[in-house]
Structure formats: structure tokens, C-alpha cells
Amino acid sequence: MTRYLARSVTDDSDDTIRLFCFPYAGGGASAYGRWQRTLDAHGAGVHVLPVQLPGREGRMDEPRFTDLWALVADMDEQLDAELERPHIFYGHSMGALLAYALAWRRQQRGANMPLAVALSAYRAPHLPAPKIADPDASDEELIDSLAALGGIPEVLLKHPDFLTALLPVARDDLMLCTGYAAAHDTEPLRVPLHLYAGRRDRLVSVSEVLSWRRHAGRGCEVRTMPGGHFFVRAHEGEFLQELAGLTRLYGSRVPVAA
């Protein structure tokens, strides 16, 4: 099994959609650790597959990528076999950019595509990357910025070891987000886009999420959610109810194996 997947993919049935979840900046696969149980309770009919990037959690021994397209190329190669079955991409914040860029690359090379791409809390890629902090921000300034957005639970702010491990990952990920080149905007995705925006998000406005429409070649649905940038954490139950409705919709279109 590829190290990009934190869970086994051998136990899903032929008619189960795979939901590949890409992490936000500084985050890892554990951000989606509770989703399977909740989505099962909603009858979502999906196998949640959190994507584990190098240099964090179970892959701490590996170097992190700071070049977006190098990471996307590696994911494309390593996940290719797992993307032959019906699947959906989901990404939050930086994860939205990763999900979109991977789908775009696969479209360009004629590979199997997701049934849909769901993106939350990120600007369309033809806009400048959201600015969480200055590149030369001190550790204290970066922590304050992440905490203000809800990216660091308050209880963890009192744990220096956690912050020491988080900051290098967050800095590299912020560099990763600046690596999208506008030259890749020449062709919209030929799959539906489903967009989610926090109504009180101070980093990415609803209008900036709406700007993804120019990249949608097969339709675009936009929903607003209560909360700020990390509404997927603060209002997880409500968001997963929305996501379950989406996966049921596409699940109904997947032929059942004989």
C-alpha cells in the first residue's frame, strides 16, 4: 500500500466510493480520523481515505515537499492504482489546492478522474494564495496567526513540543501554497465542483470561494457554512451531514457489481 494512505483500501466493496481527503497546511491525515464513523452514521456509503503527506505524523522520517507540482506528480504516481475505482476528492484550505491540482494533472494526462471534486475554504488558484503570515514571520507571529484562524486548538497552545513540531511543517506548507502557476489555468476541470465557504472566514471570503466557478467545466455548486476558516472542525457534524448528502448523490450513480 502506498504511504500516502493512512488506512487500508482492501476492505471496501466494489460499489463503495472512495473519499480521498487532503489535509490543510500544517495538518495530517489524523484531521479526518473521525470522519468514517460519522459518515457511516449518515449512510454516506463511502470509504474515507485520509491522504498522508510526507514529513508529518506517520511519515515524519521523510522530507517534506515545498514544490507544489513535484508533490502533485508524486501523489499522482503513488496513488494511481487506488484511483481506478470510483472516487471523490475532498480538500480543505491547502488541501483544496492539492485536490484540484491532482485532478487537473490527471485530466491532462488522460488518467481516471474523480466523480467530483469538493473544495472548502480556499481561493481559486488564479488568485494569490491566502496570506496567513509573512514568510519571515517569527514563530510567535505564526502561532498567533494560526491560532486566530482556529488552526491550533487552544489546548495545544500550552504544549511546546507540539508547537515545535508543527511550525516547520506549517512553514513548508505555506511555501507549497505559493507554488501554483497561473499557466495551469488554461482548461477547466471536466468534473463537477462542490464548494464550501465559512460565512465568518477572515482568510478566504465567500466571493473568493465563488471564484472557483471559472475552473468548473461540468457545473459548480456553492454552499456556505457557519463558522470561520476551520468550520470543518468547529462545525464538523453539520459539515459532514452536507458531505454525506454529496457522497450519497454520487454513490447512487455507481453501478453495483454483478
Active site residue 93: yes
Residue with cell 457511516: 40
Residue 4 inside a domain? The answer is no
Residue 235 inside a domain? The answer is yes
What's the order of all strands across the beta sheet hosting 87-92?
Answer: 46-50, 17-22, 87-92, 116-120, 193-198, 220-225
CA distances from 85 to 1, 47, 52, 80, 173 (A): 15, 11, 19, 10, 29
Query: Which range marks the domain in which residue 142 is found?
Result: 17-249
Residue 169 inside a domain? The answer is yes
Residue 6 inside a domain? The answer is no
The pTM (predicted TM-score) of the whole model is 0.92
Question: CA torsion 122→209→50→89, rounded to 10°?
Answer: -130
Residue 234 inside a domain? The answer is yes
Residue 256 inside a domain? The answer is no
Residue 120 inside a domain? The answer is yes
SS3 4: coil
CA distances from 132 to 25, 174, 201, 240 (A): 10, 8, 12, 26
Catalytic residue among 8, 30, 93, 211: 93
Residue 208 inside a domain? The answer is yes
Tell me the pLDDT of the chain (258 aa) as tens digits: 789 997 766 656 667 899 999 999 999 999 999 999 999 999 999 999 999 999 999 899 999 999 999 999 999 999 999 999 999 999 999 999 999 999 999 999 999 999 999 999 999 998 988 888 777 788 888 888 888 888 877 767 777 777 888 888 989 998 899 877 665 667 899 999 999 999 999 999 999 999 999 999 999 999 999 999 999 999 999 999 999 999 999 987 776 554
Side chain identity at residue 130, one-letter code:
P
Domain count, the chain: 1
Instruction: Kindly report the CATH number assigned to the domain that includes residue 67.
Output: 3.40.50.1820
